């Protein structure tokens, strides 16, 4: 088994929640608490949530983590 990691980022909108919910529905697990920071260039709050998943395959850099 291999643990893979990804960090989902998005403006603080419902789209962020949908992206995290989709990852959870595909077997990813939350890794730590979400983070929030103000993006002064865009003038919006940005969200981030790390997620992990156990997979059977070995990790390789060409993996499309969002499709796992």
Domain positions in the chain are: 2-60
pLDDT of 37 higher than 80: yes
Provide mean pLDDT across the span 13-26. 96
Average pLDDT over the chain, rounded to whole?
Answer: 94
For 2-60, the fitting CATH number among 3.30.70, 3.40.720, 1.20.1070, 2.60.40 is 3.30.70
Instruction: Look at residue 23 in the predicted model and tell me its pLDDT.
Output: 96
Share of the chain above pLDDT 70, in %: 100
DSSP the chain: -EEEEEEEEEESSHHHHHHHHHHHHTT-EE-S--EEEEETTTTEEEEEEEEEEEESSPP-TT--GGG-
Q: How far apart are the first and last CA of the chain?
A: 14
Distances (CA, A) of 64 to 4, 46, 48, 68: 11, 23, 19, 7
Given pLDDT bands bounded at 50, 70 and 90, which one contains residue 21? very high
Provide mean pLDDT across the span 13-40. 97
């Amino acid at each position: 088994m291999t643990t893979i990691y990804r960090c989902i980022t998005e403006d603080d909108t419902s789209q962020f929640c949908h992206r995290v919910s989709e990852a959870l529905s595909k077997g990813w697990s939350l890794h730590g608490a979400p983070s929030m920071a103000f993006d002064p260039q865009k003038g919006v709050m940005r969200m981030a949530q790390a997620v992990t998943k156990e997979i059977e395959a070995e990790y390789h850099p060409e993996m499309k983590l969002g499709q796992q």
